[in-house]
């Protein structure tokens, strides 16, 4: 039932899958979860230096490997099949935003630092961009003021790439995380494998990288959605597989619980959810790669995969029974990731509305 | 597009030459198809001895492309005749192939499928229509149901029970039956949406000649599986009103009429599928486009349908995964029903001319429940997925003894 | 699992249940369905003259039997367990509206005609009353102008009781169905056991019965909702019972389909739907009888019972399989009633919104 | 309210007089409850020979009303001690009742329930913790789980397998076991929401004296059914932080502390139930009150909870119908989770102090999945409804042979 990717893409999937399998057994995830940064620095270094994944989607003329959204989707899906705690998504968001800057002289030094992994950046969008983020920022004389509720990997990023719309056209700024006037508040998150921090900006000096048009801002946002959607599809798949495996071995009333027809039918329904979620992710990635207007389908992918993931997480706990509700069993780690992903970058309801808005614009 | 291989070039040239000599849109449809059958170009993959050319599927595409290029009409394909042909090609005797395949491909004979029974729906192999050997012929008694186009049919492919002492799958045989005979009565079966696309067929001492048994007695289920696999492959594609119109000559008029008759039972199929395509326009008409709650329902329905389309278009819906597409289609239909209801509001009270879009909306609301039943219920699809894809244990069997002892309706 | 009604109420239920069983076998319903009026005139006469059901809820000092909303709910639930085609609901709506008129001299003659069954009246609300009815009416010098899309039993009513708000305070008018300027269009309905007609009013003379305050208009509407909700609960119950009975006898694969666990679990879920729908109906009726502010719970009852009914209708067809989709099987008659009831007097979504509006007012 | 019958008047007078002579809020809780046990007024329905008065349930209400009137503290009720007492009263020997009931009602002894095992959740009767007779005593080995308050408990009610050659329900026996002994190890079990309300209990050659077997060997399942029926009756009522506060005297302070300890494992139970009560206020806080889509979710959740409340309040949730209430409670919890998610939006990312309402919202999102598992999974409830209310056929049995041959984890 796998959509046929080409050989190179299949290889890429294998490499990432093997890497995640090696790096993210439950014990490793739990060990990293308990650290301050919540990131597996060793794995992250290897993803950059050895696997080249940080540079994967960055155009070759910008120092990247020049792969497209389809390959990025593959990496995200495989990462999503594990809980490997690395700041890949924030890195993708930041480098995608930076790639929109045409002025090479401005872009180059930053991109080089990000792609090499020597600096970690994340992307900050505020609600004035029309995205479901709480907080607003204003740029005045290249100083930023305002606040943003939750920034992905903000607790650890060296650099914030900030899209500010007010009071002028959307502009991409770079802000050093150590700037004066910037107050960072690491947040206690439900999904401890994916951290967020809140920021308050008071006259924070910012480097103006360039203005963006609305289409560019939307493309950055859509790229984020599609990446997250593919990750969620992978997570849903992982939960389905784990749950099916469990029902095949767990015995109650003298038979495996996977032999009960009511369970079988629910797992069949879940498989349908997951398969449709996967194609939603693939299709959005392919459309993005083809340069099509992807906003409607990016939102579609976000809510279809989020619903499938949450559904899979709910069923996983239910079908594991009591053990599924315990701390020591991994199911809740996935449930937390699913819940976190459901609301990050906009709830499913928000994206259903956006899809209709895009379709009727 | 890759360039055609040299061998394919030669083939294309050969077809082109034959068409140049033979294609004439002023022929009658029947005359033209007799030419096609003689030359074998209508059914390129069929064996040369049976009105075909013995080509492979890839070569067949080359042939069809040449036909399409000049607008030449193809062989008869509408209705269950294709299922009959595929089954005969795999399991029929030489005599049967000679006797029936020509009438199938020329369109001379219409066919119907006689599998489902009132007492055996999901459990097709539980058929209780009987065929008893009277020493010279098979005598058929019983009832079939959901037989599309049986009232037009000259022949039927029939599964009937010939041995009641064997387990259920082993006591069935597969027959070709003449529909125009005294012992066969066809009655239209009206559906809840008012259409009568199907029939019930009653057999009372109907006769099947000895040489119209396909395969051996007791092999009926294996033969039927061939028919079913071809049927399932066709189910998830939505039937559209096929339009091939290159001119006003006689053959195109006859061909258009043939398609019209063939599609007649299927006019409500788009409604059965939920008519997601109409939702946004309908919402603009009714004003529901301004309602955030209706917009949520519409978005959900459109998303489901797009995902189903992508799933199919990526070639994922083959084998047991066809059941995934079938279940997804049921979801699309249900979502369409819900969304059309909220979009139409009070107008969902009506049917026919008082229902929006000249009755289409009412027909949607009354047709979508068929999607999760026809062609194998959702429940059967879920069993297939659970057992064949997820590899969960099979249901315990209660029907593996001699069929006469198996509980049934 | 039956809520304990008192003995008198239980008797009433038995009487109505027996009556419906006698009068509404499938053959009778189908015969009446095919007639012009779509009403079983004989059964309707008996409901009035012999059983006193038409007068049941009308106060004693208005010539009725003086029972309350609970008893009315019982009658509606039992009617809903059959498809007996009688204009009871429209009669209830009209008499409930009329009972709000305090001036006995105005009210009496009309009420006497309705309660005796000699005249059939129905109620017309338009969208200016804030109710989800398409159409608007204006009263000018006791003449009504405008249109209303769908009036219950409008095809046959002798009298329309019309609540008109524009341009003054809400006022109840009586309009003779034979009035000049009134154009009636009988509509082709999905549920042929419950007819509707559309009306166009052009300067139609109307008898002004009295003004109503907003609370009275809402009470009339809530009474209608609660009556319909109890009817829907009865319908859902009937479908559940029929479907359970069918799965207990239908054999596939050598066993009754009701022995398959997936089917069992879905029927258990459906029972939960139905039981919750029933208490929603009972509770709303009890609150109405107690004179409490019932709008939030009337809307609750409307959407809970509608969802249960549609769910039951969908499952009933599905579990009957092919036969459930045929014209000759009764399941579709119930499905049509469920769909019709789902949207009449407002969709479930509309009532969820109204409930929140009422709760936060 | 109907007027009390004369006999009830006399009873009330008797209680009133006794309380006037004996109730003293400056006593210690233990002292007071010893008096209660001596006089039997604490447990009016228990037999007179075991610290009760042999009254019926209606009379007991009269007694309790008198206690409530003056704020007199009642007997110990918190935790599983009530289950132990009810079971002993029905199945215990005279000696066992004498030995244990007083310590239960005075609160001297704390109890826990030792039924569930890692390998037998829904299938309680599949317990594999074993009790072997060594000629003088029962030696217990195995593991139990989900044992609330086991770390405080002096005694446990234990179901263990004593015969592996009989079918599973027939090989179980019911024991009273001392928890403070070397062979019993209690470990807290942390849940996904961060609380640790339960324990795992490990038995390694733990000892049960001969006279602590309840009923006969092999009768354990029947005895356990008594315990379970009392447990189920208590499940659907939501535990609240019971507040009885009439003064600052010693007994009230001790009583408040007792309740606090008893409720400690249950602080998250309101969150488990979905906190529908908070939805509108939270929506006002977050602004979602203006969002029509959020309003739909909130309305649906509130409606479900109201219906569940009405269902219970009308006394409909008895017997197998308790399963209806239990399933409805699962729906309420799920609806609460959904509604709180849409109401909180991005704030649903957080837990603890960064989650709205000082972490309550995060705790809701992480606790609701327990509702459809604890106290019998939804799947078990659906089987009960299907088989006992709808009277559909039972599942085929695969576990009715000798237990040693039954497949298990």
**Residue A291: its pLDDT value, please?**
92
The b/e string for A7-38 (b: 16+ C-beta within 10 A; e otherwise) is: eebeebbebbbebbeebbeeebbbebbeeebb
Residue B338's alpha-carbon distances to B192, B372, C338, in angstroms, are 18, 15, 13
Mutate to test the interface with A, among C262, C264, C315 (most CBs of A within 10 A): C262
Q: What is the pLDDT of residues D96-118, one digit of tens each?
A: 999 999 999 999 999 999 999 99
> Which one, of B264, B285, B281, B15, lies nearest residue B149 by Cα?
B264
How many DSSP H helices and E strands does chain A contain?
11, 10
Q: How confident is the model at residue D230 (pLDDT cuts 50, 70, 90)?
A: confident
Instruction: Identify whether residues B209 and B275 lie together within a single domain.
Output: no
For residue C119, the surrounding DSSP H or E stretch is none
For residue C167, the surrounding DSSP H or E stretch is none
Chains near C, with 3+ CB pairs < 8 A? A, B, D
**Residue B245: its pLDDT value, please?**
59
**Residue A349: its pLDDT value, please?**
98
Residue A86's contacts (CB-CB under 8 Å, 6 or more residues apart) are A39, A40, A43, A44, A47, A79
In a domain, D166, yes or no: yes
DSSP string, D223-241: HHHHHHHHHHHHHSSPP--
Pairing mode, if any, of strands C121-125 and C159-164? parallel
Q: Least CA distance to C260: which residue of chain D?
A: D395
Task: Name which residue leads in pLDDT, D252 or B241.
Answer: D252
Instruction: Identify whether residues D191 and D278 lie together within a single domain.
Output: no
The ipTM (two decimal places) reads: 0.95
**Residue B2: its pLDDT value, please?**
46
In a domain, B394, yes or no: no
Query: Do C324 and B373 lie within an 8 Å CB cutoff?
Result: yes
**Residue C1: its pLDDT value, please?**
40
DSSP assignment, residue D155?
E
Integer Cα distance of C164 and C171 in angstroms: 5
Q: What is the pLDDT of residues D261-292, one digit of tens each?
A: 888 889 999 999 999 999 999 999 999 999 99
Instruction: Identify whether residues B201 and B277 lie together within a single domain.
Output: no
Kindly report the nearest CA distance between residue B9 and chain A, in angstroms. Answer: 28
Query: Which of D145, D191, D348 is closest, CB to CB, to A343?
Result: D348
Q: What is the pLDDT of residues C286-322, one digit of tens each?
A: 999 999 999 999 999 999 999 999 999 999 999 999 9
Place of tokens 């079908």: A319
For residue B234, the surrounding DSSP H or E stretch is helix B220-235
Query: Which of A190, A325, A340 is closest, CB to CB, to D370?
Result: A325
Instruction: Identify whether residues D211 and D119 lie together within a single domain.
Output: yes
Query: Which of B306, B311, B390 is closest, CB to CB, to A300?
Result: B306
Integer Cα distance of A312 and A240 in angstroms: 6
In a domain, D133, yes or no: yes
Instruction: Identify whether residues B212 and B277 lie together within a single domain.
Output: no
- Residue A204, beta-bridge partner list: A144
Tens digits of pLDDT across chain B (409 residues): 345 567 889 999 999 999 999 999 999 999 999 999 999 999 999 999 999 999 999 999 999 999 999 999 999 987 789 999 999 999 999 999 999 999 999 999 999 999 999 999 889 999 999 999 999 999 999 999 999 989 999 999 999 999 999 999 999 999 999 999 999 999 999 999 999 999 999 999 999 999 999 999 999 999 999 998 888 766 544 443 345 556 789 999 999 898 888 888 889 999 999 999 999 999 999 999 999 999 999 999 999 999 999 998 887 777 888 999 999 999 999 999 999 999 999 999 999 999 999 999 999 999 999 999 998 999 999 999 999 999 999 988 889 899 999 999 8
Q: What's the structural domain count of chain D? A: 2
Alpha helices in A81-206, H assignment, sequence order: 88-99, 104-115
Tokens of A105: 């002289």
User: How many C-beta atoms lie closer than 10 Å to residue D51's C-beta?
Assistant: 26
C183 — phi, psi (to 5°)?
-110, 125
Task: Identify the domain containing residue D348 by its residue range.
Answer: 268-389
For residue B243, the surrounding DSSP H or E stretch is none
User: How many C-beta atoms lie closer than 10 Å to residue D299's C-beta?
Assistant: 27
Instruction: Identify whether residues B272 and B362 lie together within a single domain.
Output: yes
First to last CA, chain A: 35
Query: Do B385 and A256 lie within an 8 Å CB cutoff?
Result: no
Query: Do A339 and D370 lie within an 8 Å CB cutoff?
Result: no
Residue where a domain terminates, one of D181, D197, D219: D219
Pairing mode, if any, of strands D111-114 and D155-161? parallel
Query: Which of A189, A254, A347 is closest, CB to CB, to D406?
Result: A254
User: What sign results for the dihedral spanned by CA atoms A52, A53, A56, A60?
Assistant: negative
Kindly report the nearest CA distance between residue D372 and chain C, in angstroms. Answer: 13
Q: What is the pLDDT of residues B59-80, one digit of tens each?
A: 999 999 999 999 999 999 877 8
In a domain, D329, yes or no: yes
Residues of C with CB under 8 A from a CB of D: 1-4, 244, 247-248, 255-256, 258-259, 261, 263-265, 267-269, 271-272, 275-277, 279-280, 282-283, 297, 300, 303-304, 349, 352-353, 355-356, 359-360
In a domain, D3, yes or no: no
In a domain, D14, yes or no: no
Residue where a domain terminates, one of D162, D187, D219: D219
Q: How confident is the model at residue C211 (pLDDT cuts 50, 70, 90)?
A: very high
**Residue B241: its pLDDT value, please?**
38
CA atoms within 13 A on the CB side of D227: 29
Integer Cα distance of A283 and D398 in angstroms: 46
DSSP assignment, residue D346?
G
A141 — phi, psi (to 5°)?
50, 45
Q: What is the pLDDT of residues C336-360, one digit of tens each?
A: 999 999 999 999 999 999 999 999 9
**Residue B260: its pLDDT value, please?**
87
- How many whole angstroms from its chain centre is CA B312? 18
First to last CA, chain D: 55
Side-by-side strand order, sheet with C135-140:
C135-140, C143-152, C196-205, C182-186
Q: What is the mean pLDDT of residues A333-344?
A: 98
Mutate to test the interface with C, among A252, A262, A267 (most CBs of C within 10 A): A262
Share of chain A above pLDDT 70, in %: 99
B contacts of D396 (beta carbons < 8 Å): 396
- The mean predicted confidence, pLDDT, of chain C is 96
CA-atom Rg of chain D in angstroms: 23
pLDDT at D2 over 60: no
CA atoms within 13 A on the CB side of A2: 10
Instruction: Identify whether residues D211 and D285 lie together within a single domain.
Output: no
C contacts of B347 (beta carbons < 8 Å): 134, 149
CATH code of D382's domain: 1.20.140.10
> Which one, of C121, C220, C139, lies nearest residue C176 by Cα?
C121
Spell out the SS3 assignment of A104-137: HHHHHHHHHHHHCCCCCEEEEECHHHCCCCCEEE
- The mean predicted confidence, pLDDT, of chain A is 96
Query: Do A260 and C261 lie within an 8 Å CB cutoff?
Result: yes
The answer to whether C255 faces chain A, any CB pair under 8 Å, is no
The b/e string for D113-148 (b: 16+ C-beta within 10 A; e otherwise) is: bbbbbebbbbbbbbbbbbbeeeeeebbbbbbbbbbb
**Residue D364: its pLDDT value, please?**
98
Which one of the listed residues D66, D200, D231, D297 is annotated catalytic? D231
Instruction: Identify whether residues B272 and B199 lie together within a single domain.
Output: no
Q: B186: left (phi > 0), else alpha (psi -120 to 50), else beta?
A: beta
> Which one, of B239, B246, B244, B245, lies nearest residue B262 by Cα?
B239
Query: Do A325 and D122 lie within an 8 Å CB cutoff?
Result: no
CATH code of B201's domain: 2.40.110.10
**Residue C202: its pLDDT value, please?**
98
**Residue C270: its pLDDT value, please?**
98
In this structure, which long-range contacts are made by residues D247-253, counting pairs with CB atoms below 8 Å and at least 24 apart in sequence? D247/D25, D247/D71, D249/D25, D249/D26, D250/D25, D250/D26, D250/D27, D250/D28, D251/D24, D251/D25, D251/D26, D251/D27, D251/D28, D251/D29, D251/D32, D251/D73, D252/D25, D252/D73
Kindly report the nearest CA distance between residue A35 and chain D, in angstroms. Answer: 17
Ordered domains of chain A (ranges, CATH): 7-116 (1.10.540.10), 121-212 (2.40.110.10), 215-360 (1.20.140.10)
Q: What is the pLDDT of residues C229-256, one digit of tens each?
A: 999 999 999 999 999 999 999 999 999 9
Q: What is the pLDDT of residues A165-183, one digit of tens each?
A: 878 889 999 999 999 999 9
Tokens of B182: 């005294």
Residues of B known to be catalytic: 231
Alpha helices in A193-321, H assignment, sequence order: 214-249, 261-289, 295-320
First to last CA, chain B: 56
Instruction: Identify whether residues B277 and B377 lie together within a single domain.
Output: yes
User: How many C-beta atoms lie closer than 10 Å to residue B391's C-beta?
Assistant: 11
Q: Give yes or no for a contact between C205 and C183, defined as CB atoms under 8 angstroms apart.
A: no
Tokens of C292: 């409490």
Q: Which burial class, exposed, middle or buried, applies to B6 when counting CB atoms under 10 A from its CB (0-12, 13-18, 19+)?
A: exposed
**Residue D8: its pLDDT value, please?**
86
C contacts of B352 (beta carbons < 8 Å): 188
Residues of B with CB under 8 A from a CB of A: 280, 289, 292, 295-296, 298-300, 302-304, 306-308, 310-311, 314-316, 321, 323-324, 327-328, 331, 379, 381-383, 385-387, 389-393, 395
Residue where a domain terminates, one of D181, D200, D219: D219
Integer Cα distance of B303 and A311 in angstroms: 17
**Residue B248: its pLDDT value, please?**
85
Q: What is the pLDDT of residues D122-174, one digit of tens each?
A: 899 999 999 999 999 999 999 999 999 899 999 999 999 999 999 999 999 99
> Which one, of A166, A169, A177, lies nearest residue A206 by Cα?
A177
In a domain, B361, yes or no: yes
Q: Give yes or no for a contact between B41 and B214, defined as CB atoms under 8 angstroms apart.
A: no
DSSP assignment, residue A258?
G
In a domain, D152, yes or no: yes
Q: What is the pLDDT of residues D21-65, one digit of tens each?
A: 999 999 999 999 999 999 999 999 999 999 999 999 999 999 999
For residue B114, the surrounding DSSP H or E stretch is strand B111-114
Instruction: Identify whether residues D172 and D282 lie together within a single domain.
Output: no
Alpha helices in C34-176, H assignment, sequence order: 41-49, 69-80, 88-98, 104-115
């Amino acid at each position: 039932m796998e959509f046929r990717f080409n050989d190179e893409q299949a290889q890429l999937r294998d490499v990432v899958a093997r890497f995640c399998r090696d790096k993210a057994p439950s014990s490793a995830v739990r060990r990293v979860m308990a650290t301050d940064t919540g990131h597996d620095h060793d794995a992250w270094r290897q993803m950059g230096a050895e696997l080249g994944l940080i540079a994967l989607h960055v155009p070759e003329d910008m120092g990247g490997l020049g792969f497209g959204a389809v390959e990025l989707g593959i990496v995200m899906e495989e990462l999503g099949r594990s809980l490997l705690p690395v700041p890949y998504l924030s890195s993708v968001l930041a480098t995608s935003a930076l790639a929109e800057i045409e002025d090479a002289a401005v872009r180059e030094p930053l991109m080089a630092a990000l792609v090499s992994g020597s600096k970690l950046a994340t992307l900050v969008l505020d609600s004035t961009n029309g995205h479901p983020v709480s907080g607003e920022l204003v740029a005045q004389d290249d100083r930023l003021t305002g606040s943003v509720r939750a920034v992905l990997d903000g607790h650890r990023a060296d650099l914030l790439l900030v899209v500010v719309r007010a009071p002028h056209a959307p502009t991409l700024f770079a802000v050093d995380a150590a700037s004066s006037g910037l107050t960072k508040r690491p947040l206690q998150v439900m999904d401890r494998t994916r951290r967020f921090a809140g920021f308050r900006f008071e006259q924070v000096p910012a480097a103006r990288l360039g203005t963006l048009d609305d289409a560019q801002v939307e493309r950055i946002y859509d790229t984020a959605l599609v990446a997250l959607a593919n990750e969620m599809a992978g997570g849903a798949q992982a939960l389905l597989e784990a749950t099916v495996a469990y029902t095949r071995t767990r015995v109650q009333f003298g038979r495996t619980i996977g032999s009960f027809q009511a369970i079988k039918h629910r797992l069949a329904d879940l498989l349908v959810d997951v398969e449709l979620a996967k194609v939603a992710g693939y299709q959005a990635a392919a459309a993005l790669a083809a340069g099509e207007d992807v906003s409607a389908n990016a939102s579609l992918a976000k809510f279809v995969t989020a619903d499938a993931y949450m559904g899979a997480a709910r069923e996983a706990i239910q079908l594991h029974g009591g053990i599924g509700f315990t701390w020591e069993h991994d199911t809740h780690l996935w449930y937390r990731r699913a819940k976190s992903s459901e609301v990050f970058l906009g709830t499913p309801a928000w994206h259903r509305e956006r899809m209709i808005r895009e379709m009727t614009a | 597009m890759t360039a055609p291989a040299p061998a394919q070039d030669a083939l294309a040239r050969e077809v082109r030459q034959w068409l140049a000599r033979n294609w004439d849109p002023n022929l009658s449809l029947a005359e033209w198809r007799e030419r096609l059958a003689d030359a074998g170009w209508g059914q390129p993959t069929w064996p040369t001895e049976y009105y075909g050319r013995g080509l492979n599927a890839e070569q067949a595409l080359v042939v069809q492309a040449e036909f399409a290029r000049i607008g030449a009409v193809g062989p008869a394909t509408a209705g269950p005749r294709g299922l009959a042909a595929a089954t005969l090609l795999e399991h029929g005797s030489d005599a049967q192939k000679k006797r029936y395949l020509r009438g199938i491909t020329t369109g001379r004979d219409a066919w119907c499928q006689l599998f489902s029974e009132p007492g055996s729906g999901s459990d097709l192999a539980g058929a209780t229509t009987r065929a008893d050997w009277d020493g010279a012929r098979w005598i058929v008694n019983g009832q079939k149901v959901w037989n599309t186009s049986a009232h037009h049919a000259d022949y039927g492919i029939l599964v009937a029970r010939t041995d009641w002492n064997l387990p259920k799958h082993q006591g069935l045989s597969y027959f070709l039956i003449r529909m125009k005979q005294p012992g066969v009565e066809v009655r239209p079966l009206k559906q809840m949406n008012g259409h009568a696309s199907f029939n019930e067929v009653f057999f009372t001492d109907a006769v099947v000649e000895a040489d119209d048994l396909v395969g051996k007695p007791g092999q009926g289920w294996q033969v039927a599986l061939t028919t079913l696999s071809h049927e399932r492959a066709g189910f998830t594609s939505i039937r559209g009103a096929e339009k091939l119109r290159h001119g006003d000559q006689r053959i195109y008029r006859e061909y258009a009429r043939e398609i019209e008759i063939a599609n007649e039972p299927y006019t409500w199929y788009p409604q059965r599928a939920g008519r997601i395509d109409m939702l946004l326009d309908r919402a603009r008409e009714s004003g529901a486009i301004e309602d955030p709650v209706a917009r949520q329902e519409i978005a959900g329905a459109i998303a489901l349908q797009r995902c189903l389309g992508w799933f199919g278009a990526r070639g994922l819906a083959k084998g047991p995964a066809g059941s995934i597409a079938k279940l997804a289609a049921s979801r699309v239909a249900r979502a369409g029903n819900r969304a059309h209801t909220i979009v139409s509001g009070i107008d969902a009270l009506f049917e026919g001319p008082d229902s929006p879009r000249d009755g289409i909306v009412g027909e949607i609301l009354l047709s979508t429940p068929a999607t999760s039943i026809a062609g194998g219920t959702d429940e059967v699809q879920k069993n297939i997925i659970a057992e064949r894809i997820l590899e969960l244990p099979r249901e315990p069997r209660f029907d593996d003894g001699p069929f006469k002892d198996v509980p049934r309706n």
